[in-house]
Amino acid sequence: MNKVVTFGEIMLRLSTERHLRFSQAKTFAATYGGGEFNVAVSLANYGIPVEFITRLPENEIAACALKEMRKFNIVSKNIVYGGDRLGIYFLETGAGTRGSKVVYDRTNSSMATIEKGSIDWESVLKDVSWFHWSGITPAISESAAEECLEAIKVAHNLGVTISSDLNYRSKLWQYGKEPHQVMPELLKYSNIILGDIDTALFMLGKDKVDPNYHNETSLPVLYDQIFKLCPNLQTVATTLRYSVSASHQRIGGILYDGKTIYNADIKEVTPVVDRVGSGDAFMGGLIYGLLKDTNDKQRALNIAVAACCLKHTVSGDYNLITLEEIENLLSGNTFGEVSR
Amino acid sequence: MNKVVTFGEIMLRLSTERHLRFSQAKTFAATYGGGEFNVAVSLANYGIPVEFITRLPENEIAACALKEMRKFNIVSKNIVYGGDRLGIYFLETGAGTRGSKVVYDRTNSSMATIEKGSIDWESVLKDVSWFHWSGITPAISESAAEECLEAIKVAHNLGVTISSDLNYRSKLWQYGKEPHQVMPELLKYSNIILGDIDTALFMLGKDKVDPNYHNETSLPVLYDQIFKLCPNLQTVATTLRYSVSASHQRIGGILYDGKTIYNADIKEVTPVVDRVGSGDAFMGGLIYGLLKDTNDKQRALNIAVAACCLKHTVSGDYNLITLEEIENLLSGNTFGEVSR
Amino acid sequence: MNKVVTFGEIMLRLSTERHLRFSQAKTFAATYGGGEFNVAVSLANYGIPVEFITRLPENEIAACALKEMRKFNIVSKNIVYGGDRLGIYFLETGAGTRGSKVVYDRTNSSMATIEKGSIDWESVLKDVSWFHWSGITPAISESAAEECLEAIKVAHNLGVTISSDLNYRSKLWQYGKEPHQVMPELLKYSNIILGDIDTALFMLGKDKVDPNYHNETSLPVLYDQIFKLCPNLQTVATTLRYSVSASHQRIGGILYDGKTIYNADIKEVTPVVDRVGSGDAFMGGLIYGLLKDTNDKQRALNIAVAACCLKHTVSGDYNLITLEEIENLLSGNTFGEVSR
Amino acid sequence: MNKVVTFGEIMLRLSTERHLRFSQAKTFAATYGGGEFNVAVSLANYGIPVEFITRLPENEIAACALKEMRKFNIVSKNIVYGGDRLGIYFLETGAGTRGSKVVYDRTNSSMATIEKGSIDWESVLKDVSWFHWSGITPAISESAAEECLEAIKVAHNLGVTISSDLNYRSKLWQYGKEPHQVMPELLKYSNIILGDIDTALFMLGKDKVDPNYHNETSLPVLYDQIFKLCPNLQTVATTLRYSVSASHQRIGGILYDGKTIYNADIKEVTPVVDRVGSGDAFMGGLIYGLLKDTNDKQRALNIAVAACCLKHTVSGDYNLITLEEIENLLSGNTFGEVSR
Amino acid sequence: MNKVVTFGEIMLRLSTERHLRFSQAKTFAATYGGGEFNVAVSLANYGIPVEFITRLPENEIAACALKEMRKFNIVSKNIVYGGDRLGIYFLETGAGTRGSKVVYDRTNSSMATIEKGSIDWESVLKDVSWFHWSGITPAISESAAEECLEAIKVAHNLGVTISSDLNYRSKLWQYGKEPHQVMPELLKYSNIILGDIDTALFMLGKDKVDPNYHNETSLPVLYDQIFKLCPNLQTVATTLRYSVSASHQRIGGILYDGKTIYNADIKEVTPVVDRVGSGDAFMGGLIYGLLKDTNDKQRALNIAVAACCLKHTVSGDYNLITLEEIENLLSGNTFGEVSR
Amino acid sequence: MNKVVTFGEIMLRLSTERHLRFSQAKTFAATYGGGEFNVAVSLANYGIPVEFITRLPENEIAACALKEMRKFNIVSKNIVYGGDRLGIYFLETGAGTRGSKVVYDRTNSSMATIEKGSIDWESVLKDVSWFHWSGITPAISESAAEECLEAIKVAHNLGVTISSDLNYRSKLWQYGKEPHQVMPELLKYSNIILGDIDTALFMLGKDKVDPNYHNETSLPVLYDQIFKLCPNLQTVATTLRYSVSASHQRIGGILYDGKTIYNADIKEVTPVVDRVGSGDAFMGGLIYGLLKDTNDKQRALNIAVAACCLKHTVSGDYNLITLEEIENLLSGNTFGEVSR
């Protein structure tokens, strides 16, 4: 079956083109994206049946987002409608030593004002293999956090695998609660967590780790803390990013399954066409890998890193990369030759 | 002196290009506009010293709006800062029998959440000749209505001429009050009102007029009702629009000063490059005409109609038309010949 | 149920922008369209469940066409794959006295080289209410004509309503057969035919009618000839186009059900944003109207004409118009006012 | 043989797009044009061997102009090189009641600073049938006027037919001479003159005619004055333009051969895509018509008017219209139907 | 004299812009190119008289290709006309680890359906110094292969120098013959061959060489095999490409004249603006170098490598680089400073 | 107070987009820039009150330049008007080994034809802290040089700090004077000079230095020569640029105050979005640093180098970089991470 459901917010993304600064832009390129939607697109591109759940306003901008979902064969039939607006974020694309800038304009979005209980999770998650959510949803509003918890509990009861991308954004979490007040309850049902140790501990209300943890022998000890706090956890993974500049990244990844630390080789990513959504591409690759063979953790991690690298070459939030292209990169071909 | 102050909201406008529908747009053209700002641009282009008052968020999108103001030499020094977001509106440009569509996304804008008393109107309106506001400001929130009333009262006390564009938008007025509960208090200080009789009576809480009022002899009788309700009123004017299609308008205008009805000849406007803001262009022309010669009502009306017509040939919200171009049109030259 | 299936070719359309001539174009706008696909999009936009059947090559250009279908919620699961290429047509957009130009590049397309019997029509047409095809499919190749006949026969046996758009294109029909050798067999199962009398008679192998047929009293006599040749025919309809220039059309329509002639009012269409696909928009409106109420022929015709008119304001091959917009036009509102 | 030579300036044209005003433009569309070059393009498109003579600077911008010439098969081998710059003109494209604006930036161009005697006219005009120049060349500088006179004299001596477009531009003629001091000497060799009577008399130093001359019976009398002043004159012609607006023209033409007045029917031109160069398109049609059949003056005039009308539908300075399209218009087909 | 003739196919190239994937493209950039045409453009830019021979359909798309040729001063007078279509290829521009993709749509092009004997090679090749063809022409169809052989034989008999670019494309060769059945007969007349040893041996029907051949001492031995199979061969050369990624290439070259191995220094090429046609740029440089001084093989190779490097900085298929820019690079200036 | 005045020419810059060569460009991106204007924009962005003095023609192109100034809050009230044209420069954007190209078209600009004495420098420079000019102004014409000297003398007398960017452009200086005949008189009042030693000595009429001067111990000796020739000099500084390619620069800087040599670390700049104006960005940073703390020379130099680096990531002539971004880079953050 392998059906996957992801739940979160989809936004209108308005980005400047050709490295222009906001003040130079006379047009904005318009696409639609968001962490959990981006994961859904990745999976759909790999041939996985996938459904996206969100709340949309009944206006023509949201109708465009809906068309985008359909284009990628993502099921949209359980989306709920209501509220005033689709969230927006503005993106100024950096280069070299000038980083990209995001200006969020997502407060009071339809997703943020979702009413608890408006989604029939029992029905949505029936016959589903995997449920994915991220730390952005509980960060945008109390009711979104509550709806997310509801979904997680139902998924857990139905035996659905649950993955969580921690996705900490300090500019969110404005509704009066701290991550550590909300996230532990949500994460305790997670089977797979994506995020670095510092973020994980912070969200779980623990102290930041000693900077010496990068010592590989100490890593399992640290990860084991997370496993203790999240009793359903089977796998924790994270991208390793070494940012040379906005235009040049070095990307690796690490995965721990409670027993073994898996590493993926660092890959050079230059130039960067668009790095937004590269974490979601990693997540999409990881879910795909684990869905296909839950035992081959090394391959799942490799797919995740390859997907993340290739995402940097694709404009927009989500990853338009095929399995064939991932396989090609995994086979060691990083040469980018013309296929003809 | 002739210094003019206008007060209202400036928004980011995101419009589709080349008559594309929203669902076809991969880019949006970005400009900045709003009724009272548009009036300010018109006046600045005619050489009038003008200041715009609003509330802006402290982010980079608002910084772009600010740059736009400066470009036209509009004073921005008394703008106040705070709140979360710049209001946005999306515009789908129609053609022929398909009208343009506006999707508002302006709730909770910095202007809508303005705090009463945050502007020092005594200082702002010192040495000012004219204050302009429109019915949009009291329509967006209670605090905006209150701040508008405060401004109006100070202007009145300082002997500043006050003009009001009724600008009724049924999609606004969502905060729990009806126009007739708010507008009469605001309009009673107005010296100049722009709007048709139906809208004026509606906003003043009166019944809609008998459809026979278009009989020219009855018009003064109807207008006199407005004069009675607005004791400071000296001039009421309105554009007359006969919409053949989204691409073809016929534009005239009418003005009444309590004694005489003035009419302007109907002009053909085809094609329509952009009709948004054409009412603001009319208002800008009217203020200019009355500022320059308060007694030549016919000329003020003619300028207003010419400015309104020419605005339809200009992309964007505000009117990039020179006095010379208005004079040329007033002299009867509607031929659009190449100037070389 | 009301499920509709349409069958035909979808092509990549490459058009010049802003009225440029081919020799001036440095870019081509790329969309995907074709008569029967365009009808499917219209119906999908009106909320009708619709499936499109065609043959596509297995390459990335065809994958784009597939994404376009999904965007509009058109079922694509029974499309067959094979052959070398997606058909292409180039479009130079005219203006005024200079008409638009089409350069076809569709020979040897995957659809033209479809192998007879490759589609399981029994399965495709099960539980379907309506099947639509056009005279383009039998014009592109012998095997396409054969597959079309197969589909028609199965539809007929299953009691599916069959509509046909005559769509005569003299540049096609290059494979050695004349329309009159192929079309009569295909048309004899049709319940609804779209096309003018001259084309109908020509395709049925009859002489062109006497030019006096425009006399309304003689029209039924002429139409009755068609009814006699097509024993299943219930309705024949045609657009009436009076072309003032490439930028200005006058559009009406006529419908005959064997008893009564129905006429729709002529509407002015100016400017023309894009007239390609306006016949398909008429067809889509007609099918929708007859599906919803087979007895209200006048309303079905009115919807068809309104849809045709509004299509002229939309870029691209297919009609991105809502039922609400059609209703608005039917109610007499041709003013194209801004909706805000 | 029928070889034509035209002589004049070619400029870089920088125009705003989509009716934007200069202050809104972030990009300028770049093309290359100029009256005599535009005539050359028209003739090349009609299959006439044509050569263009000018002076270009040795820089990369001029190299682009040269590539443009070659594209149209215009011989460029006798162009001379030197001077500092290619002339430029900026074009703001109007609409409706707002006319287009030209800002010239052509002073001190390579053509304006041409050195007398730098072109070997004997060699250039050998085996040539027709020489065309316009009133712009003597207007830009004294040396250009002198070189033009030299060309005209050589052409006259070689028996080459000479045509002149009066093309009066009041913003030129800045070098200290008035048209009547320069033009009579140049015009006296002309066999064909294009221009209205007022301009012709003005350039020949005569008084403006009585406004009653539009009376058709008096026209020959007036034209006869021109014939008297220009002893080689055989044909005088002019476009008749009735400008409804920048977007709507009515175009006719008139021709007099010393005996008969020929008129062409008025044609509606709406919308106007680009009217710059429409006079040059008329001239190109006239030369073509007279070259092909010097006796069929009516047909030559009709071709000129048709070419002029069709030019209004083409972006850029020169006329990208085929003979087939002109014939189609001459046959009465103004319907602008899609050719497919 | 130094006149060069090249023979092959010119195609419409439709490429996505700004690294977009096919599924993201709403427009395609349109240019015209093809291996042998690209060589012609290079030579024309270096001032060599050059003619291109091909077969074009009589439609408006081919007319655009023709205009492109003329722009570069390439003689087009012996092109033959007929057939249905201009070949097309779609290009998706890669970046970093994602390579570019080509989708060919060139089957049944006018060039592929060329009829043997349709070109009068005796007349075309009279007074010509050099004839260039590539392995693409015999790969597209049997008749193209035959016409190519005819041209080669005539060139050989006339003593024209013959160069061949092996240009193996596995997606072509679909008409039922293998390269080794066709190419040996064609290559035996070649004086200059461009291609690596593996490809050369494969096309000549020999086994792939032992991978140790990169040992420089063994290279002459391997090349000598080619010389034996091609009795007219004087020079064999190849680019050496080390592909770091789609955005970063290292380019060198090697040349052997039967006696000496010449090497050119490796140059860094980053970023890659467009690498399509870089082999043709090498070929163009090589022909130019050998034409100018057949004895200075090292300089010819250096020019070829420099041209190849610089091509990577130019959008489109062909190389818009001047001799001056090549000389500048040859002199060691790789710094890319602003020239002002 | 800290008010700064800069004096020089502002030009229309027309650049090709996406690395296109001139011959490929169908549009030019239009911005406005010039060395001294660019410095003004930098300072305005850092919050310094700044005024720009120039001479503009009274046309609509110059009006656009004026709007650009106002946008950045640059005072324009003392600009003088007259003359024929705004100077233009064309920019072809290079990549990799192909450098960018500038084609100047600025002769006879309004600034070049400025009339001596047309600016009331006493009034302009009253209450001003700093006056900045560059070697471009005395290079364009004799009257510009004279006006520049006049400004410098008045500034000196008023005790205004004077900075000069040597900015040697060999393509200028066409009016009959050599730099060494003009510059010494101008430079002798300078307090801060920007430029390398070779240029400084050349402009001061001295021999080029021995290439060994890069030995750091000898640098002060060389700089001391400049100090001797410019008695008011306090600081001399220069960027150090190591050009790897048009797309990759290494940027450092050096400053000498007559006592100490200050160095800034070399920074990698790749990719280069736009390097034009990077020297002006350095100058802007240097002035800002010295204005804020004249004693912290090291910090002033560091700011200058950081501003110069960041400018390379910004399209257009002037530097749209904030102080916060400079501080971020100075703090060692060169990673270009996404700010969200």
Q: Tens digits of per-residue pLDDT, B170-199?
A: 889 999 999 999 999 999 999 999 999 999
Neighbours of B159 (CB within 10 A): 9
For chain A, give percent helix, strand, coil, nearest 5.
35, 25, 40
CA distance to partner chain E, nearest, from residue D281 (Å): 20
What CA–CA distance (Å, rounded) separates A12 from C267?
37
* F77 or B335, which is more confident: F77
Residue where the block lists tokens 């011989």:
D75
Contact C244/D338, CB-based, under 8 Å? no
Q: Which chains are adjacent to chain C, needing at least 3 Cβ pairs under 8 Å? A: A, B, D, E
Q: If DSSP codes are grouped into helix, strand and coil, which group holds residue C233?
A: coil
Q: If DSSP codes are grouped into helix, strand and coil, which group holds residue C248?
A: strand
- Split into its structural domains, chain B has a count of 1
**Average pLDDT of chain F to the nearest whole number:** 95
Question: pLDDT band for position A213 (50/70/90)?
Answer: low
What CA–CA distance (Å, rounded) separates A276 from A37?
13
Contact D67/E72, CB-based, under 8 Å? yes
Residue E233 is which amino acid? L
Judging contacts by C-beta atoms under 8 Å, the chain E residues touching residue C58 are: none
Whether D266 contacts D242, CB under 8 Å: yes
Q: Which of B90, B92, B91, B100 is nearest to B245 (CA)?
A: B100
Contact B336/D18, CB-based, under 8 Å? no
Contact C334/B97, CB-based, under 8 Å? yes
Question: pLDDT band for position A172 (50/70/90)?
Answer: very high
For A98, the closest of F18, F268, F310 (CB atoms) is F310
Whether B339 contacts D103, CB under 8 Å: no
Residue F101 is which amino acid? K
Beta strands in A135-222 (DSSP E): 161-165, 192-194
Q: If DSSP codes are grouped into helix, strand and coil, which group holds residue A69?
A: helix
Whether B248 contacts B272, CB under 8 Å: yes
Contact A100/F309, CB-based, under 8 Å? no
CA distance to partner chain F, nearest, from residue A275 (Å): 9
Contact B339/D102, CB-based, under 8 Å? yes
Question: pLDDT band for position D104 (50/70/90)?
Answer: very high
Tell me the helices (H) and strands (E) count for chain C, helix number first.
11, 14
Q: What pLDDT does A226 receive?
A: 94
Judging contacts by C-beta atoms under 8 Å, the chain A residues touching residue F268 are: 245
Chain C's closest residue to B101, CA to CA, is C339
Whether B59 contacts B81, CB under 8 Å: no
Residue where the block lists tokens 């077969």:
E55
Q: Which of A301, A290, A293 is nearest to A330 (CA)?
A: A301
Whether E164 contacts E190, CB under 8 Å: yes
Q: Which chains are adjacent to chain E, needing at least 3 Cβ pairs under 8 Å? A: A, C, D, F
Q: Which of F14, F26, F89, F101 is nearest to F275 (CA)?
A: F101
Half-sphere exposure of B299 (CA within 13 A, CB side): 11
Q: If DSSP codes are grouped into helix, strand and coil, which group holds residue A226?
A: helix
Judging contacts by C-beta atoms under 8 Å, the chain E residues touching residue C30 are: 14, 25-28
Question: pLDDT band for position D215 (50/70/90)?
Answer: low
Chain D interface with B: residues with Cβ < 8 Å = 18-21, 23-24, 94-102, 104, 169, 171, 243-248, 271, 275-276
Contact B67/F72, CB-based, under 8 Å? yes
Q: If DSSP codes are grouped into helix, strand and coil, which group holds residue F206?
A: coil
What is the side-by-side order of every strand in the sheet holding F4-7? Answer: F50-53, F4-7, F130-134, F161-165, F192-194, F235-245, F248-256, F261-269
Q: Token digits for C85?
A: 């290429």
Residue C173 is which amino acid? W
The residues that bridge with D75 in the sheet, in sequence order, are: D51
Identify whether A255 is part of a domain. yes
* Integer CA distances (angstroms), D267 to D96, D276, D289, E241, in order: 18, 17, 19, 62
Q: What pLDDT does C76 receive?
A: 97
Helical residues (DSSP H) of chain F, grouped into ranges: 35-45, 60-71, 121-124, 137-140, 142-157, 179-187, 197-203, 219-229, 278-292, 297-311, 323-330
Q: Which of C123, C93, C104 is nearest to C18 (CA)?
A: C93
- In terms of residue numbers, what domain contains B138? 4-328
Q: What pLDDT does B334 receive?
A: 83
Judging contacts by C-beta atoms under 8 Å, the chain A residues touching residue C72 are: 67, 70
For chain E, give percent helix, strand, coil, nearest 5.
35, 25, 40
Q: What pLDDT does B273 receive?
A: 97
Q: At what angle do helices F142-157 and F179-187 cross, to 10 degrees?
A: 20
What CA–CA distance (Å, rounded) separates E121 from E124?
5
Identify whether F340 is part of a domain. no
Q: Which chains are adjacent to chain D, needing at least 3 Cβ pairs under 8 Å? A: B, C, E, F
Query: pLDDT of F286-324, one tens digit each?
Result: 999 999 999 999 999 999 999 999 999 999 999 999 999
* Integer CA distances (angstroms), A181 to A146, A309, D141, in order: 12, 34, 82
Chain D interface, best mutation among B269, B273, B309, by max D CB count within 10 A: B273
Query: pLDDT of B125-176, one tens digit each?
Result: 999 999 999 999 999 999 999 999 999 999 999 999 999 999 999 889 999 9
**Average pLDDT of chain C to the nearest whole number:** 95
Contact E24/A271, CB-based, under 8 Å? no
CATH of the domain at F293: 3.40.1190.20
Query: pLDDT of F243-277, one tens digit each?
Result: 999 999 999 999 999 999 999 999 999 999 999 99
Chain F interface with D: residues with Cβ < 8 Å = 14, 17, 22-23, 25-31, 59-61, 63-64, 67, 84-86, 88, 90, 92, 101, 103, 105, 107-108
CA distance to partner chain B, nearest, from residue A136 (Å): 19
Q: Is residue A91 scored above 80 in pLDDT?
A: yes
What stretches in chain E show pLDDT beneath 70? 1, 210-217
What is the interface size between D and F, counted as CB pairs within 8 Å? 75
* Integer CA distances (angstroms), A180 to A35, A176, A198, A224, in order: 21, 12, 13, 18
* B156 or A333, which is more confident: B156
CA distance to partner chain F, nearest, from residue E235 (Å): 28
What CA–CA distance (Å, rounded) separates A259 from E279?
52
Q: What pLDDT does D170 receive?
A: 87
Cis peptide before A271 (omega within 30 of 0): yes
Q: What pLDDT does A214 receive?
A: 57
Contact E67/D72, CB-based, under 8 Å? yes
Identify whether B334 is part of a domain. no
Contact E61/C88, CB-based, under 8 Å? no
Q: Which of F255, F284, F304, F305 is nearest to F4 (CA)?
A: F284
Q: What pLDDT does B222 receive?
A: 85
The residues that bridge with E267 in the sheet, in sequence order, are: E251
Whether B112 contacts B10, CB under 8 Å: no
What is the interface size between B and D, counted as CB pairs within 8 Å? 82
Q: What pLDDT does F340 receive?
A: 78
Chain B interface, best mutation among C27, C244, C331, C339, by max B CB count within 10 A: C339
Q: What pLDDT does B159 receive?
A: 97
Judging contacts by C-beta atoms under 8 Å, the chain F residues touching residue E19 are: none
Identify whether C334 is part of a domain. no
Q: If DSSP codes are grouped into helix, strand and coil, which group holds residue D183?
A: helix
Judging contacts by C-beta atoms under 8 Å, the chain C residues touching residue A70 are: 70-73
Q: At what angle do helices D35-45 and D278-292 cross, to 10 degrees?
A: 50
Question: pLDDT band for position B215 (50/70/90)?
Answer: low
Chain D's closest residue to C170, CA to CA, is D340
Residue where the block lists tokens 């001459």:
D330
Q: Which of F220, F188, F221, F218 is nearest to F203 (CA)?
A: F188
Query: pLDDT of F22-71, one tens digit each?
Result: 999 999 999 999 999 999 999 999 999 999 999 999 999 999 999 999 99
Whether A194 contacts A230, CB under 8 Å: no
Contact D71/E70, CB-based, under 8 Å? yes
Identify whether E340 is part of a domain. no
Identify whether E215 is part of a domain. yes
Judging contacts by C-beta atoms under 8 Å, the chain A residues touching residue B61 are: 22, 90, 103, 105
Tell me the helices (H) and strands (E) count for chain D, helix number first.
11, 14
Contact C30/E26, CB-based, under 8 Å? yes
For D246, the closest of B267, B336, B340 (CB atoms) is B336
Q: What pLDDT does C215 receive?
A: 61
Question: pLDDT band for position D207 (50/70/90)?
Answer: confident
What is the side-by-side order of every strand in the sheet holding C161-165? Answer: C50-53, C4-7, C130-134, C161-165, C192-194, C235-245, C248-256, C261-269
Q: What pLDDT does D79 receive?
A: 98
Question: pLDDT band for position C216 (50/70/90)?
Answer: low
Q: Within its chain, how far is the Cα of A127 from the centroid?
A: 23
Contact E315/F95, CB-based, under 8 Å? no
Helical residues (DSSP H) of E85-141, grouped into ranges: 121-124, 137-140
CA distance to partner chain C, nearest, from residue B218 (Å): 27
Chain F's closest residue to B77, CA to CA, is F73
Residue B13 is which amino acid? R
Chain D interface with F: residues with Cβ < 8 Å = 14, 17, 22-23, 25-31, 59-61, 63-64, 67, 84-86, 88, 90, 92, 101, 103, 105, 107-108
Judging contacts by C-beta atoms under 8 Å, the chain B residues touching residue F67 are: 71-72
Judging contacts by C-beta atoms under 8 Å, the chain A residues touching residue B23 are: 60, 63-64, 67
* Integer CA distances (angstroms), D233 to C106, D205, E167, in order: 54, 17, 62
Judging contacts by C-beta atoms under 8 Å, the chain A residues touching residue E311 are: none
Question: pLDDT band for position A151 (50/70/90)?
Answer: very high
Identify whether A339 is part of a domain. no
Q: What is the mean pLDDT of residues D199-224?
A: 79
pTM above 0.90, yes or no: yes
For D20, the closest of B315, B321, B335 (CB atoms) is B315
What CA–CA distance (Å, rounded) separates B70 from F67?
8
H or E segment at D182? helix D179-187
Whether A71 contacts A47, CB under 8 Å: no
Q: Is residue B81 scored above 70 in pLDDT?
A: yes
Identify whether D265 is part of a domain. yes
